[in-house]
A and B are shown apart, each in its own frame.
Chain A
Amino acid sequence: RKEVEQDPGPFNVPEGATVAFNCTYSNSASQSFFWYRQDCRKEPKLLMSVYSSGNEDGRFTAQLNRASQYISLLIRDSKLSDSATYLCVVNKAYSGAGSYQLTFGKGTKLSVIP
């Protein structure tokens, strides 16, 4: 099983649609979770951290289910500018010393169509 798995897409949605991305991770000891956004030929940038209680930032909602080792990102009222690749990222934690290696999924490509 891959460490972080995502549906690669592409997701082609009309403006205004709601779209959801899912991600699963294999290391049950992982401690930190993020969604990064990457535009074509650009560097990844943090979209939001994901907390156990779930968190919302404007049109974006992230949720974490530790029992199922599952992370989700919901985008409401999609804009053309949301078109990008969304990377699910998990902190690869080791017991004891701790590790800050971030493990990335392959990303899910989103295209928002006029």
Chain B
Amino acid sequence: DTGVSQDPRHKITKRGQNVTFRCDPISEHNRLYWYRQTLGQGPEFLTYFQNEAQLEKSRLLSDRFSAERPKGSFSTLEIQRTEQGDSAMYLCASSLEPALNTEAFFGQGTRLTVV
């Protein structure tokens, strides 16, 4: 399968615990995005990488959130001290520069439930 892969698909955690999600983009894609989606809403931008550089971060990305893409390939999104409001689907997407019209391909997401 050469699509965007996310792991785990589902995560249930207790409030206050830390969680880490992984995203493996399509191999030749240099752009990688993280989005969050809650029920009835469209995906909301969190952050984006071009190769290993994190070029944009949303105000939604509080200090408890950190994302990395150390070698410009896979990426991790960590949430520290999880809160119930963090419950959502976390989507990763990748695309290939340089055209603005380049399609972003999404992974199947990691569904986080904080109890």
Contact = CB atoms under 8 A, between A and B. Distances in A.
Contacts of A99: 56
Contacts of A93: 100
Given A42-B108, A43-B91, A43-B106, A103 B45 contact: yes
Contacts of A44: 43, 91, 106
Contacts of B104: 46, 102
Nearest to A51: B101
Contacts, number: 51
A78 to B, nearest CB: 22
Interface string B86-109: 000001000101001101111111
Interface of B: 31, 33, 35, 40-45, 48, 56, 91, 95, 97, 100-101, 103-109
A42 B109 CA distance: 8
B44 A104 contact: yes
A101 B56 contact: yes
Which of A46, A104, A106: most chain B Cβ within 10 A? A104
Contact of A106 (B41, B95, B106): B41
A2 B43 CA distance: 14
Interface string A82-114: 000001000111000011111111110000000
Determine the interface band of chain A, counting residues with CB < 8 A from chain B: 20 to 34
Contacts of A59: none
Please give me the 5 A-B residue pairs with the lowest Cβ-Cβ distance, nearest first. A104-B42, A43-B106, A32-B100, A46-B103, A106-B42
A46 B93 CA distance: 12
A66 interface: no
A49 interface: yes
Which of A8, A34, A44, A91: most chain B Cβ within 10 A? A44
Contacts of B95: 100
Interface in A7-56: 8, 31-32, 34, 42-46, 49
Nearest to A105: B42
A98 B103 CA distance: 16
A50 to B, nearest CB: 9
B93 to A, nearest CB: 8
